[in-house]
Chain A
Amino acid sequence: MIRDITLGQYLPGDSVIHRLDPRVKIILSTLYVVNLFIINKFIGYLYVAVFTAFVIFIAKIPFKYIMKSLKPIIWLLLFTAVFNVLLTPGEIVYARFGPFTITDKGIYLAGFMIIRIVFLIVGTSVLTLTTSPIALTDGIELLLNPFKKIGVPAHELAMMMTIALRFIPTLIDETDKIIKAQKARGADFESGNIINRAKNLIPILVPLFINSFRRADELALAMEARCYKGGEGRTRMKQFNIEKNDYISIVVMVCFIIISILSRR
């Protein structure tokens, strides 16, 4: 039932992009997204296409993974396209049926919006495809550190994410076991109306919750027995260092943004 689950989209590899510092990668991806909103002409997206293709090439991400990341938004793209083509008023009208018109401006806008959404998804997918979830949470913690003063619990946030990621596979196994055990006792999850189904789920949910809470207690005990006491003064086994490649990628991104801004004229 739930065996075929992949967690995250991470594609292990050893390219330059994979080895970049996660902090740098998160910031650069954010800049990339913002940059897509700076661009206001098609020519700008041509630069984006070349840049994105270059990054994908050096990250050695197979093309089919990029396509896979676009799959969930196919309906959204279609919807955007149809909406813009049919409902945008314009000067040159190609066709007209009732309240709908197809105009030059509509087709232009539709194309523009679709390209933007596609690059938004592809750009963020490059981040999640080349960075493991754990590295991402570490990056988020380090980026949030300066905000500790205004009350952002940076360390606790990252700790929770890391533990959650670690325990997802464990809990998947456990859920699977409980479902099988209840099925063996004759439980039926596939028929009846919503109230009956909800009732039938109780024998799964209650043991699952009790087990998870018990696990949380044991884990807390284990952590405290090893002197865990929050983020204060804690050191890391793997230090993140900003290296030559990181600086190069920052420079490349800045150049790319300058080109995009210039393309607005």
Chain B
Amino acid sequence: MHFFEGLLKIKPYVWAILGALVLIAITSIYLNKSNTKEKKFDTRKITTASLCIALSFVLSYIKIFKLPQGGSITLGSLIPLFIFAYTYGVKDGVIVGAIYGILQFIQEPYIVHWAQVIIDYPLAFGALGLAGLSRKNIPVGMVLGGVGRLFFHVISGVIFFASYAPEGQNVLVYSLVYNLTYLLPDLILCIVIGFIPQFKNAINRLSTERC
């Protein structure tokens, strides 16, 4: 009896998350079936992905600008993930982003809610792989990836507020403002770097060598 009553009490957002997860699973199966001929991960792709993840990790330690409320601008720590997505496309980019997210969780687990863990780590960082949607222009891709990540962090913020703050607050705005304060500066730096010609040329050379 208790169990079924509990099921009824599950809040709408939980259903929304579960729905989103199912959707992701279905699309991934679909993507898998549609191009079975293409080899998924060859050795070179695996090692490149690994080195990109490691490089992102290293760059995330180098803080060149500290923000007052605790966030910081890192030395373009997301750029390697963007470049990987730019080189190998959305699907691989998302997978590699998600792995980076899981490693971030292992490095410093920050957990306030079970759904928040899934959204804040694999999904939010996986969304960085959306940068692969724009394979002609790096800065556009960076914006896409950044917006994707912001989207998931905002959702997780809403969950946090919904479960830890009293009702009746404008949670969406709070979450958006809070997340923007630390995501935006880092993303701006990435985009500025993405616009610099020397950098663009180097990246284009690296990625055309590969595909």
Chain A residues close to B by CB (< 8 Å): 1-2, 5, 7-9, 33-34, 37, 69, 72-73, 75-76, 80, 83-84, 87-89, 106, 109, 113, 117, 120-121, 124-125, 127-128, 133, 136, 140, 150-153, 156-157, 159-165, 167-168, 170-172, 175, 189-190, 194-195, 197-199, 201-202, 204-206, 208-210, 212-213, 215-217, 219-220, 223-224, 228-230, 264
**Apart from A170-B54, A219-B47: 7 A-B pairs, beta carbons within 8 A:** A106-B166, A121-B109, A128-B109, A171-B58, A197-B65, A220-B44, A264-B2
- The contact string, 1 if C-beta is below 8 Å from chain A, for chain B 108-150, is 1111111001000000000000000000000000000000000
**B50–A216 contact, CB under 8 A?**
yes
Query: In chain B between 12 and 36, which residues have their CB closer than 8 angstroms to a CB of chain A?
Result: 25, 28-29, 31-32
Q: How many residues of B contact A (CB 8 A)?
A: 63
Closest residue on chain B to residue A189 by CB atoms: B64
Nearest-Cβ distance from residue B30 to partner chain A, whole angstroms: 9
- Does B170 belong to the interface (CB within 8 Å)? no
When chains A and B are docked, how far (Å) is the Cα of A120 from the Cα of B65?
30
**B55–A197 contact, CB under 8 A?**
no
**B49–A160 contact, CB under 8 A?**
yes
**B112–A117 contact, CB under 8 A?**
yes
Residues of B within 8 A of A206 (CB): 198-199, 202
Nearest-Cβ distance from residue A208 to partner chain B, whole angstroms: 7
Q: Is the interface of A mostly helix, strand, loop or mixed?
A: helix
When chains A and B are docked, how far (Å) is the Cα of A210 from the Cα of B126?
24
**B47–A223 contact, CB under 8 A?**
yes
- Does B75 belong to the interface (CB within 8 Å)? yes
Contacts known (A201-B76, A208-B55); A220 close to B43, Cβ less than 8 A: yes
**A113–B43 contact, CB under 8 A?**
no
**A205–B193 contact, CB under 8 A?**
yes
When chains A and B are docked, how far (Å) is the Cα of A209 from the Cα of B79?
10
Closest residue on chain A to residue B193 by CB atoms: A198
Residues of B within 8 A of A212 (CB): 51-52, 54-55, 80
